[in-house]
A and B are shown apart, each in its own frame.
Chain A
Amino acid sequence: MKHPLGNYGPVVTPAGMKEPILFGDFATAGVETLDGFRGAGGYQTALDALKNRKPEEITEIVKASGLRGRGGAGFPTGMKWSFVPKGSPKPKYLVVNADESEPGTFKDRELMARSPHRLLEGILLASYAIQSHHAFVYLRGEFAFLEPLLAQALDDARAAGLFGKNIGGSGFDLEITLHLGAGAYICGEETALLDSLEGKRGQPRTKPPFPAVEGLYKCPTVVNNVETIQSVPFIVKNGADWFRKWGPEKSPGTKVFSVSGLVNQPGNYEIEMGLPLSQLLDKYAGGMRSGAKLKAVIPGGSSVPWLTPDQIETKLDFDSVAAAGSLLGSGGAIFIDDGVCVVDALLNLTHFYRHESCGKCTPCREGTHWMEMLLHKIEDGEGGTQDVSTLKTVAEQILGRSLCALGDAAAMPILSVLQKFPDEIDHHLTAKRCLVNERRESVERVRRAEPATV
């Protein structure tokens, strides 16, 4: 569907549900405007909570719902909120992480573009729960085109008394500041984001102290992803048990998965947690395009270990994907076809991590550089067994040795591919060339083919 702010796919009702939750908003005509959103009952939950419920009740509902952070780490949201010290005389801050830049992930962009007021309502509820009177939205620089939309939504809501002083006569005050980044993947890491928001180079901090205790301007801060925040109004409105109707015990609710690669119907799909990967591919994304055969899946954004086609029945929830040796991450599922050389694909990603390493920690800064160089050598048919073994050693030495997850994110995919595709790596060493060197031709061929009707 062509939307003024991008091409977005169709909204599909998740299997076993009457209607989608987050994507349910998109069915309301004019939901992106204040009137449209309020007409469908928007802001009612927040206004009611501000007047009739205690902040701790909101935290308790979210805690009981089992909602886990949708940005990648999957940390329980209510628990994160409860770490904010109650008696602290310092101001508290809520920061929304809208720095969506994990390769393969494009869900927050659609959520914000199509239902900006849902984000604002979530901010209102989360801020009230942690008693923050100043919230920030950190929008990645490349999303500058979304800034006017969000600013308009905020202005309209403020004019209607939904932000500012004494919101809805509740006595609660809240201001929101939109902050535009300027191009840096690392700012999606919460402490790097906070440094960036303070006007510094975006580099991760040593933890502890965790942001809930010492975050923005050394004050207690909660950093939550866009999808997490947009889920909050639904949970507060309908209750924790309602949210737990979907998904397994430890990963309740629905989750938006971004699907990319040579599939028939790429796009964002809100599905019930715990659905098999095969259903996401076949039922929602329409399967692989004609002529493209599945070779590997990166289930949770480019930072996670790869899965192979024999793992296609892996259930999509935090624990099941972890048990399969990967991570659910941000839910950016990249389907890799057999026309792709795994070394070439790894080289692409390793180049990304090398480019995006902030330079603070030596293992990540130097290690990503070495890994890219070694992968280049192997891909170009100039590598030997020693290079593969060095690559493995470097990746293992990065693991767990940098302040943030970027180092691990660069190393994990490489280690999983070395383990799962040894023949293809060997072929580069013995035949001195790529096993799939017709990749571009193959991609062009499949691109020219008509996508199957879904």
Chain B
Amino acid sequence: MGVTGSRATIGVELKSAGKPLAFEKDDRDAIAQMAARYPDRSSAVMPALWLAQKRFGFLSKEAVAAVAEALQIPEPEVAGVATFYSMYNLAPTGRHILQVCMTLSCSLLGADALLAHMSKKLGIEPGETTPDGKFTLRKVECLASCGTGPCLQVNEQVFQELLDPASVDKLIESLP
């Protein structure tokens, strides 16, 4: 029996961006500054991956190679980090990633019904992106907003809390 869908999964193959990617000078300088904040430059892998994700959209094989090159760290090590953490995107996403907390406290407050409502409204299943590339719907684990659930996080922004179908509709309609 294989273990799938968890961070224990190993051997995840990175997707190709279809073209070589490289950081511009400003980004290379920023990465050098990140490395200088730690006693060992390997610690800058995570912030550099965050930057790569912002710059290139998702962490492709080429984006990971660019981070490895900028920090002079073996590519497989960077790939190992990129595939471990759930906020690093390994495939293209919509402009707004709607990350709905599904863990117990939010679930007690109706997260399951909220997710079903959003899924219906957007016409996509969790894990999918709308055809216009605007929204990705995603189930996530506890966001630490347990007293103010159900809640969701749009990209890395401040949590949207105490949601119900009406307020989530309003939120979705307000996103550009």
**Cβ contacts under 8 Å, B8 to chain A:** 357-359, 365
Pairs A-B, 9 closest by C-beta atoms: A359-B8, A266-B147, A182-B85, A183-B87, A183-B86, A199-B45, A260-B146, A144-B156, A199-B42
In the complex, identify which listed stretch (B17-25, B124-132, B137-145) lies at the interface while the others stay far away: B137-145
A105–B156 CA distance with the chains assembled, in angstroms: 19
Q: How large is the interface on A (under 10, 10 to 19, 20 to 34, 35 or more residues)?
A: 35 or more
Whether the Cβ atoms of A266 and B37 lie closer than 8 Å is: no
List 6 A-B pairs, Cβ < 8 Å: A103-B141, A105-B144, A182-B87, A298-B104, A356-B6, A358-B8
A106–B101 CA distance with the chains assembled, in angstroms: 13
A268–B40 CA distance with the chains assembled, in angstroms: 38
B interface, CB within 8 angstroms of A: 1, 3, 5-10, 37-40, 42-47, 49-50, 73, 77, 80-81, 84-88, 102-105, 107-110, 112-113, 140-149, 153, 156-159, 161-162, 164
Contact status of A181 and B108, CB under 8 A, knowing A9-B147, A106-B145, A141-B87 = no
Closest B residue to A146 using CB positions: B158
* Complex interface residues of chain A between 315 and 370 (CB less than 8 A to chain B): 332, 334, 336-337, 340, 345, 348-349, 352, 354-359, 365-366, 369-370
Instruction: Answer whether residue A422 sits at the interface, using C-beta atoms and an 8 A cutoff.
Output: no
A63 CB → nearest B CB, Å: 28
Contact status of A104 and B39, CB under 8 A, knowing A6-B159, A145-B156 = no
In the complex, identify which listed stretch (A123-131, A378-386, A440-448) lies at the interface while the others stay far away: A440-448
Contact status of A182 and B49, CB under 8 A, knowing A104-B104, A201-B80 = yes
Whether the Cβ atoms of A182 and B88 lie closer than 8 Å is: yes
A331–B102 CA distance with the chains assembled, in angstroms: 20
Whether the Cβ atoms of A109 and B46 lie closer than 8 Å is: no
B53 CB → nearest A CB, Å: 9
- Chain A CB within 10 Å — which of B6, B37, B143, B147 has the most? B147
Contact status of A6 and B145, CB under 8 A, knowing A199-B81, A357-B7, A365-B3 = yes
A227–B157 CA distance with the chains assembled, in angstroms: 23
Instruction: Answer whether residue A100 sits at the interface, using C-beta atoms and an 8 A cutoff.
Output: yes
Instruction: Answer whether residue A4 sits at the interface, using C-beta atoms and an 8 A cutoff.
Output: yes
Whether the Cβ atoms of B159 and A185 lie closer than 8 Å is: no
Having A6-B148, A298-B104, one finds 16 other A-B pairs with CB under 8 Å, namely A103-B146, A104-B142, A140-B144, A179-B43, A182-B87, A184-B85, A201-B80, A260-B105, A260-B108, A334-B108, A340-B108, A345-B104, A352-B141, A359-B6, A370-B1, A443-B109
Instruction: Answer whether residue A91 sits at the interface, using C-beta atoms and an 8 A cutoff.
Output: yes
Whether the Cβ atoms of A359 and B146 lie closer than 8 Å is: no
